[in-house]
Chain A
């Protein structure tokens, strides 16, 4: 169990640029989540995958955001035409299919700064 891995750890970009983050969940976990955390706030749900199917999306996930999990393994989160308000920590989490699905295993996150 190597844990949930997120890359990059930090990303600085200029407003209007596109960015993409990657998440590698724990290998046997078929549930994958993306959350966003801004300063002084708790994590906010963005989207949820079960295997390769994106089953839930938050209204926070605007049209500029897209997430994929093409083979039910790793996932990517892309933000197009970044805005300063997108600056946040983007957290990926995974959990097993049965039993304790509420026990999310989080990665260390990708800190995005939009200048």
Chain B
């Protein structure tokens, strides 16, 4: 049962434009959400997180938006750079109920120079 879903396996964006990666979840108990970036032959790297008490968190070029009513979050990267080309994983967890994080299947982003 996939509790965190990323329905777009891949995305291509021109350099300098905005990249929008989407993620949906089914478990209403999730109260914090994360994005990880993964380059080939490396482990995932933490990018940005958001708790359910917020609807937006920004860190430089990266902004995560959370829509709890729709059980949807998105990652915006602007402006996109070729070095952003990677696989992006959305993940979710319950802060007070263990230490298990649920990951989506990933979206492969290609930023075209």
Which of A's residues lie within 8 Å of B, judged by CB?
4, 31, 33, 35, 40-45, 48, 55-56, 58, 91, 93, 100-109
User: How many residues of chain B are within 8 Å of chain A by beta carbon?
Assistant: 24
**Residue pair B43, A4 in contact (C-beta under 8 Å):** yes
Contact of B89 among A43, A100, A109 (CB under 8 A): A43
**Residue pair B100, A106 in contact (C-beta under 8 Å):** no
**Residue pair A103, B102 in contact (C-beta under 8 Å):** no
Contacts of A31 in B (CB 8 A): 99
Give how many A-B residue pairs fall within 8 Å (CB-CB). Answer: 57
Residue in chain A with minimal CB distance to B99: A48
Contact of B45 among A42, A55, A106 (CB under 8 A): A106
Can you list 8 A-B contacts (CB < 8 A)?
A33-B99, A40-B105, A42-B91, A43-B44, A45-B100, A56-B99, A105-B46, A106-B36
**Residue pair B46, A42 in contact (C-beta under 8 Å):** no
Per-position contact with A for B5-34: 1 when CB-CB < 8 Å, else 0?
010000000000000000000000000101
Closest 5 pairs between A and B when the two form their complex, measured CB to CB: A106-B43, A42-B103, A45-B100, A48-B99, A103-B46
Contacts of B46 in A (CB 8 A): 102-105
A43 → chain B closest CB, angstroms: 5
